[in-house]
Amino acid sequence: MYTAEERGELLMFGGVGPLHALPSGIGTYHLIGSFGPNFGKVLDDYDLLTRSLDMCEQAGYGAGTCPSLRALLGSMMVGGFDSSDGKKTKIDFHLETALCQPQAQSAQIVAERHNAPFFLIEIPPTEKQSAFLIMQMNDFIEWLEKVTGRKYDDEKLITAVNNEWEVRVLWSRLCEQQKVVPAPLKLASLYSFMNLMWRSGRHRPETVEFYRLALDEVRHFVEEGIAAVSTERCRLMHEGSLTWYDSIITKYPERWGAVFTGSEMCFGSQGAWEVEENGCWKVAPTIGELGLEMRNRDEALAVLAKLYLQYAPGNQGFALLDRRIRNRTTIAKDWHIDGLVTNNDRACRGACLGNTETVISVKQEGIPAVSYDGACIDPRDFDDIAYKSQIETFLETTLGLTALYD
C-alpha cells in the first residue's frame, strides 16, 4: 500500500461500504479502508486509544459522536496517514458511500483533513432508485478521470463487477453454513474472515479466490461435524456493533456453551441475498444464473446497481427500519437462534438503529433477548462487570443454562 505510488498505482480512502468495483476502471488501486493505517495500531494499545479519544474530545468530537469518526480522527491525530517507518502516504482520492448518515458526515470532515479529492455516493434504499445510483456512478467516473488524469477502462470495470458479485455470493454461501448446528464458525471468526473485503476490496481476483477456499474449508468443517465451540448448546445473535478493541463480549457466554453464531450486520453488509416474499433470505443467484450481460459501461453499471439495490438487504436497513427489523427477526428464526443480544451504543445511530424494535419483534417469535450499553470504540465507556451480570442472568434465568466452568 505504502509503495503504490512507486508502482504507478493509486491509493483510495473510503469506508467499508464503497462500490469497490466502481473505481477499478482507472487501474489498480489500493484500499486504505475507512480508518487509515493507524487504526489497528491504536486499537491494540489501550493508552494510545484513550489518548486519541481524548484528542478527539478536545477537538469537539465527544462521546456522543459516531464511533467510526472518533476512531478515524483519533488515529489520524496520533499518527496521520504515515507508515510505521514514517513514510508519507499520499491519498489519490476518497470515495465514500452514504449508507449511514453519520458516516457521510464523518467522511466529509475526514476528507477536509487529509486534503484528498472527495466524492460521496448516496446508496438509495430500493431498486426503484436505480437510475439515481447509476447517474451518480457515471458522475464519479467523469470526476475520477479528472482528478487522477487517467483514462477509465470499461473492460476493467466489467471484470471487477464480475468479481464483486462473485465475492458477495461466496460470502453468503459461507454465512449460510452457519445455520448448521453446531456452527462451524464463531461470529468473531466471521468478522476476521470479512476483513479481506474491507481491506483488499471485493473487486479483486485474489479476493474471489480467497473466499472460494474459505467456503470449501467451512463446508469441510460442516461435513466433518467440526464445531467452532465443541460445547455449543445455545446459539446467540448479536446486533449493533461489537467492540473494535479486545473485549469479553463474544467470549464470556462460552462458559455456558453459548456461542455468537451470526448477525444481520455480518451476513448482510457484504453478502448478496434474495429476500423471498415471506422475508426469508436465500443466497442470490450469480450473474451467469441471472443471464445478465455486460458488454459496455452502461450494462456494467446497471449490474452493479442491481447488486447493491436488489441483492443487498443489509444496506436497506439503514434507510428502511421496518426491513431491518423484519430481516433480523427472519435471520434469528432461520439460523436457529436461541437468544438475541443487542448493543445499544449511544453514539452509533447507524448500526444500533432499530435495536429496541428488534427485541420486541424477536420476543414475539418466542426468542428471548437482552440489551447492554456498549461502546464500540471507547473501552472507558463500557462496563464489563454490568455486561457479565446481564449475560449471566440472561443465560441462567431466562435460558436455563448452567455454567460449564468458572
Rg of the chain's alpha carbons, rounded to an integer?
21
Interaction between residue 350 and ligand SF4 (CB under 6 A): yes
In angstroms, the Cα distances linking 219 to 61, 169, 206 are: 45, 15, 20
Interaction between residue 348 and ligand SF4 (CB under 6 A): yes
Q: C-alpha grid cell for residue 394? A: 440472561
Please select the residue that binds ligand SF4; options are 351, 359, 395, 399, rule is CB under 6 A. Answer: 351
Nearer to ligand SF4, 106 or 250 (CB): 106
The H or E element spanning position 68 is helix 67-79
Q: How far is the CB of 126 from ligand SF4 (least distance, A)?
A: 20
Nearer to ligand SF4, 235 or 324 (CB): 324
For every residue of 136-199, DSSP letters joined together read HHHHHHHHHHHHH-----HHHHHHHHHHHHHHHHHHHHHHHGGGSSS-SS-HHHHHHHHHHHHH
Helix ranges (H only) for 229-270 are 264-270
Which range, of 82-90, 120-128, 349-357, 380-388, touches ligand SF4 by CB under 6 A?
349-357
Interaction between residue 100 and ligand SF4 (CB under 6 A): yes
- CA atoms 126, 127, 128, 129: torsion sign: positive
- Burial of residue 277 (CB within 10 Å: 0-12, 13-18, 19+) is exposed
Q: How far is the CB of 96 from ligand SF4 (least distance, A)?
A: 10
Q: How far is the CB of 132 from ligand SF4 (least distance, A)?
A: 21
Nearer to ligand SF4, 100 or 304 (CB): 100
Cα–Cα distance, 350 to 356 (Å, whole number): 13
223: number of Cβ within 10 Å = 10
Nearer to ligand SF4, 348 or 370 (CB): 348
Which range, of 160-168, 307-315, 328-336, 346-354, touches ligand SF4 by CB under 6 A?
346-354
Nearer to ligand SF4, 141 or 376 (CB): 376
**Helix and strand counts by DSSP (H, E) for the chain:** 15, 10
> Which residues, in sequence order, are CB contacts of 247 under 8 Å at separation 6+?
379, 382, 384
Interaction between residue 14 and ligand SF4 (CB under 6 A): no
Cα–Cα distance, 350 to 170 (Å, whole number): 26
Q: How far is the CB of 295 from ligand SF4 (least distance, A)?
A: 36
Per CB under 6 A, contacts with ligand SF4 among 272-331 are none
Please select the residue that binds ligand SF4; options are 344, 349, 383, 390, rule is CB under 6 A. Answer: 349
Cα–Cα distance, 364 to 1 (Å, whole number): 49
Q: How far is the CB of 386 from ligand SF4 (least distance, A)?
A: 21
Nearer to ligand SF4, 159 or 243 (CB): 243
Q: Please give the residue whose beta carbon sits closest to ligand SF4 in the complex.
A: 350
| Binding residues with ligand SF4: total (CB under 6 A) | 10
Q: How far is the CB of 321 from ligand SF4 (least distance, A)?
A: 14
Nearer to ligand SF4, 326 or 349 (CB): 349
Residue keyed to cell 464470556: 252
Per CB under 6 A, contacts with ligand SF4 among 50-79 are 66-68
Q: C-alpha grid cell for residue 163? A: 468479481
The H or E element spanning position 281 is strand 281-283
In angstroms, the Cα distances linking 332 to 24, 133, 365 are: 36, 31, 9
Q: How far is the CB of 257 from ligand SF4 (least distance, A)?
A: 31
Site string for ligand SF4, 247-276 (x = CB under 6 A): ------------------------------
Q: How far is the CB of 349 from ligand SF4 (least distance, A)?
A: 5
Please select the residue that binds ligand SF4; options are 102, 117, 125, 368, rule is CB under 6 A. Answer: 102
Which range, of 24-32, 137-145, 243-251, 342-350, touches ligand SF4 by CB under 6 A?
342-350
120: helix, coil or strand?
Answer: strand
Q: Which residues bind ligand SF4 (CB under 6 A)?
A: 66-68, 100, 102-103, 348-351
